[in-house]
C-alpha cells in the first residue's frame, strides 16, 4: 500500500472506532424526540408510549417535545439542524412522505438531512363520524354526498397532512364528495367532529380509539385486509364498498444527518425490542394498530413507495404547492 494512504486509513480507523465506542455507550444522556404536531394525535400518543419503553430499556430518558406548525415542517427543521449524534430524533407518520407534494421548497434537504431509522405501529386509517351521525355506513355517506353537493364537510390537522391526502384518495376510490376544513391539529379536528362542526374525518385508529371506547364516535370502515381485533364489528373498506382504498398509516423515527450507523443500529434494536414486548403489543392491539417494525433500507424503500402514491394523489387533485 502506498505510504501516503496510511494517514487516511488510520484516520478512518479512528473514526470507525469512535463510532463503535459511541454506540456501545449510547445513550448516556437524555434523548429528545420531537413530535412536529400538537399533543393528543396518533403520532403523539404512540411516540410517548415508545419513549416510555425505550426509557425503561436503556435507563436513560427518552422524552417527547411537541413542536407543531406548518404541516410538521417546524419540528422537522429543528431536528435536521441538530447534531448528528442520536440525541435528537423526529417522530412522524405518513405525512412526512407527503411534504414534497405540499411545499415548493422545504427549509432542509429532504433527501439527505433526516435519516430514516425505523417505522413501526402500522395503523389502519378509518372513516370516523360522531356517534349521533345519521350515517350508519360508508355507502350511506357516499350516497348523501353525491345527492347533496357541497354539504358534506371533513376535518383534518391541516392541508397536506396524511388525513387530507387520505381523504382525497378515498374520494377517488369511492365516489365520495366532500369539502375540506383544515384545523391546527388532529386533536382539534376530532373536537370539531364531536361538536358537529364537521361531518366526518379520516384518522388513524390510534388517534380515535379513546373516543370509540367512550361512545363518542363511530367508525364506518377501516383499511387493511382483515377486520381489527379491537373493532370486529367495523367493516374493511373493501367490505364497505371501496376495495381500492388501501391507505395505512405508521409512526416512525428519523435522526439527523451524520448520526453514526452503529448508533442508528442500536436505536433500531431497541425499537424492535420495545415493539416485541407484551405490554407494547397489548397497547398496539388496544389502539387497533399492528406493532410491526420496518428498519433501515426497508423503511427508506417504504417511504419512497408512499411518496409515489401521494405524488399521484396530488397530481390528480391539482394541489397547489405552498
List pLDDT tens digits, range 262-319. 999 999 999 999 999 999 999 888 888 877 899 989 999 989 888 888 888 888 767 6
Pairing of strands 114-130, 217-222: antiparallel
CA 179, 182, 185, 190 torsion-angle sign? negative
> Is the CB of residue 262 less than 8 Å from the CB of residue 22?
yes
**169 — alpha (psi -120 to 50), left (phi > 0) or beta?**
alpha
What's the chain's Rg over C-alpha atoms?
21
* Residue 93 cell numbers, joined: 407518520
Q: Write out the three cell numbers for 193.
A: 367532529
Question: CA–CA separation, 16 vs 20, rounded Å?
Answer: 6
Model pLDDT for residues 57-86, shown as the tens digit of each residue? 999 999 999 999 888 999 999 999 999 999
The string of pLDDT tens digits covering residues 97-149 is 999 988 889 999 999 999 999 998 788 899 999 999 999 999 999 999 999 99
Amino acid at each position: 500500500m502506498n505510504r501516503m494512504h496510511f494517514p487516511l486509513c488510520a484516520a478512518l480507523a479512528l473514526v470507525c472506532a469512535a463510532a463503535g465506542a459511541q454506540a456501545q455507550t449510547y445513550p448516556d444522556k437524555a434523548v429528545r424526540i420531537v413530535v412536529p404536531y400538537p399533543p393528543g394525535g396518533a403520532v403523539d400518543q404512540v411516540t410517548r408510549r415508545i419513549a416510555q419503553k425505550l426509557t425503561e430499556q436503556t435507563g436513560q430518558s427518552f422524552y417527547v417535545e411537541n413542536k407543531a406548525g406548518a404541516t410538521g415542517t417546524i419540528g422537522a427543521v429543528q431536528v435536521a439542524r441538530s447534531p448528528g449524534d442520536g440525541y435528537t430524533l423526529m417522530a412522524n407518520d405518513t405525512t412526512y412522505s407527503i411534504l414534497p407534494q405540499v411545499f415548493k421548497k422545504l427549509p432542509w434537504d429532504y433527501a439527505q438531512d433526516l435519516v430514516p431509522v425505523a417505522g413501526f405501529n402500522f395503523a389502519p386509517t378509518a372513516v370516523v363520524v360522531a356517534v349521533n351521525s345519521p350515517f350508519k355506513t360508508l355507502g350511506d355517506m357516499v350516497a348523501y354526498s353525491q345527492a347533496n353537493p357541497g354539504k358534506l364537510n371533513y376535518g383534518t390537522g391541516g392541508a397536506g397532512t396524511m388525513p387530507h391526502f387520505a381523504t382525497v384518495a378515498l374520494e377517488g376510490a369511492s365516489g365520495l364528495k366532500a369539502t375540506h376544513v383544515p384545523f391546527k391539529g388532529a386533536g382539534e379536528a376530532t373536537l370539531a367532529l364531536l361538536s358537529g362542526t364537521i361531518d366526518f374525518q379520516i384518522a388513524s385508529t390510534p388517534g380515535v380509539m379513546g373516543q370509540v371506547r367512550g361512545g363518542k364516535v363511530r367508525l364506518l370502515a377501516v383499511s387493511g385486509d382483515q377486520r381489527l381485533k379491537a373493532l370486529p364489528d367495523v367493516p374493511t373498506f373493501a367490505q364497505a364498498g371501496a376495495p381500492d382504498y388501501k391507505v395505512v398509516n405508521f409512526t416512525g423515527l428519523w435522526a439527523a444527518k451524520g448520526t453514526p450507523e452503529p448508533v442508528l443500529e442500536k436505536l433500531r434494536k431497541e425499537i424492535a425490542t420495545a415493539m416485541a414486548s407484551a405490554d407494547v403489543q397489548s397497547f398496539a392491539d388496544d389502539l387497533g394498530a399492528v406493532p410491526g417494525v420496518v428498519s433501515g433500507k426497508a423503511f427508506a424503500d417504504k417511504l419512497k413507495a408512499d411518496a409515489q402514491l401521494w405524488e399521484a394523489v396530488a397530481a390528480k387533485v391539482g394541489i397547489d404547492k405552498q
